[in-house]
Structure 1
């Protein structure tokens, strides 16, 4: 019996029901923000937003649009709950991280409202398993106050060139310095580690740079330890948007295309490192 024929006895009690034919499309996105055990899930008619925060300095959001699911229904304006992300990912990959060729794990996810567990029903090759994950009271989320209206500099580029930069920069550095300027070197990433100062420059007319908008020269430093988790999203993405606002706050938006060609987004917000003198 397939998952699509499964109807829970309390189906009508659920305020959120989502079904997807390939659970990897969900687990891969969630892995991109998995640097803490817990995450807050915000469900609306647009889909799911899953948020992870660290040290009140960095916030990661995974946006899984409703269109990624084969079926998606929510019976109220929104629903918010906290869940153990580590346990959720273990359940999503319960049949293994890599299925046999042509074999996908189908997923049905249900939530009945405040205090109820998150119910998962997974099916692969005719084998069914169900998981029940305790939900918790959601924490108040940080508001970085990052507004598009206050963005001063923005670069959109192919992710592959930034992946190369990460492999060349010195990870013994405490900070990553980002320079954006209307003039040369335009866009520069710098580290200051045991190997000395290392710079990676990208001309605005490079084939790797899709868009370059720079209002004024900005040099900001960010703790590398806070940015390292975003490498997971970088490895999955095909395109990245790098934005800074007038305060030097950083937004990294990753466009991730799943196995079915659908697009989801992961975004990291990070505050500048105020302990480093320019």
Structure 2
């Protein structure tokens, strides 16, 4: 069966089940349950909710399409870790300890945000999460998002339309439950959870340099580097001078210098010594979609030479996105970029 058709059946069955108790509709709902078992998720009917959830999150007129698009920017792992605290709900993926990406939806974005423990964590299948969001009305035809769409996360979904989303989780072993109520119709879905992974903590690391710049400018330079099909890229900061990139690949080599005085650079802070590190380009390019989606980007290198990329959206967005890339080597030749 066509996957889009399957998702439509699940959506319709779920909504009808919440509006009627006829045998015909219940049978359709049971069929929907069976069809989605192989997806790792289960559609549920009204009355099967959790009585005392450990986590209860509610939002009105939430832009599900934009939420889906933001999560797609970090969709390069099979499973995604979910961490909930007073700060908000954070989705994190980590691949081989070489790259980590995360999206935080801040608690102030939601009408109700209750978390009964200091930190709650679990893991869910990422592809199935995106499938669930499609069912709930967040099927975006393109994963590219702009500041205009990002700014609409909390915007009304349309004249005369009322939409409310709810997220619940009851603790270890219980499902991650999503429900959407729109104009009196309710769709409810559950995802099976697993124990969360041990995630590398990059907070609190001293920074060797810190640069804030226009995201489109950085994306343009990274796109130029990609044209040379490089295996690795070297990033270097010359104190109080410039940010440099160098890549060598099958098409040749390219060196890019972005001066501190460039109009696209808002902040340029660095230590007295030159700092360089080499990164695997195929890993770095995971961040391309994230960078393109932002208004500004903050580049930082810590004492461990991990490159941190933090995206800044418009203030009304209520989200933050971060990307951390581990270097290939600890020390670089200071003359590597000097040709």
Deviation at residue 166 of structure 1 after TM alignment: 2.1
Residues 240 and 268 in structure 2, CA contact (< 8 A), matched pair in contact too: no
The match for 1:248 is 305
CA distance in structure 1 between the partners assigned to 2:169 and 2:303 by the alignment: 40
Deviation at residue 86 of structure 1 after TM alignment: 1.3
Q: Is the counterpart of residue 113 in structure 1 residue 171 in structure 2?
A: yes
The match for 2:237 is 180
**Which consecutive unaligned segments of at least 5 residues does structure 2 have?**
1-14, 16-44, 142-155, 334-339
Q: Is the counterpart of residue 212 in structure 1 residue 253 in structure 2?
A: no
Over 3 Å off, 4+ runs: 6-12, 98-101, 103-106, 123-127, 275-278
CA distance in structure 1 between the partners assigned to 2:213 and 2:312 by the alignment: 11
CA distance in structure 2 between the partners assigned to 1:240 and 1:203 by the alignment: 16
CA distance in structure 2 between the partners assigned to 1:151 and 1:70 by the alignment: 36
**Which consecutive unaligned segments of at least 5 residues does structure 1 have?**
none
The match for 1:47 is 88
Number of positions where the alignment pairs a residue of Structure 1 with one of Structure 2: 269
Residues 58 and 268 in structure 1, CA contact (< 8 A), matched pair in contact too: yes
Residues 170 and 192 in structure 1, CA contact (< 8 A), matched pair in contact too: no
Deviates more, 1:79-88 or 1:162-171: 162-171
The match for 1:18 is 57
CA distance in structure 1 between the partners assigned to 2:162 and 2:288 by the alignment: 26
Residues 45 and 74 in structure 1, CA contact (< 8 A), matched pair in contact too: yes
CA distance in structure 2 between the partners assigned to 1:214 and 1:240 by the alignment: 16
Deviation at residue 128 of structure 1 after TM alignment: 2.8
Compare the two structures and name the one with the higher strand fraction.
Answer: 1
Q: 1:62 aligns with which of 98, 103, 115?
A: 103
| TM-score, reference length from structure 1 | 0.87
Residues 243 and 258 in structure 2, CA contact (< 8 A), matched pair in contact too: yes
Compare the two structures and name the one with the higher helix fraction.
Answer: 2
Residues 165 and 181 in structure 2, CA contact (< 8 A), matched pair in contact too: yes
User: Alignment partner of 2:131: what SS?
Assistant: helix
Deviates more, 1:208-217 or 1:186-195: 186-195
Q: Is the counterpart of residue 263 in structure 1 residue 321 in structure 2?
A: no
Structure (1 or 2) with the larger CA radius of gyration: 2
Q: 1:197 aligns with which of 246, 253, 257?
A: 253
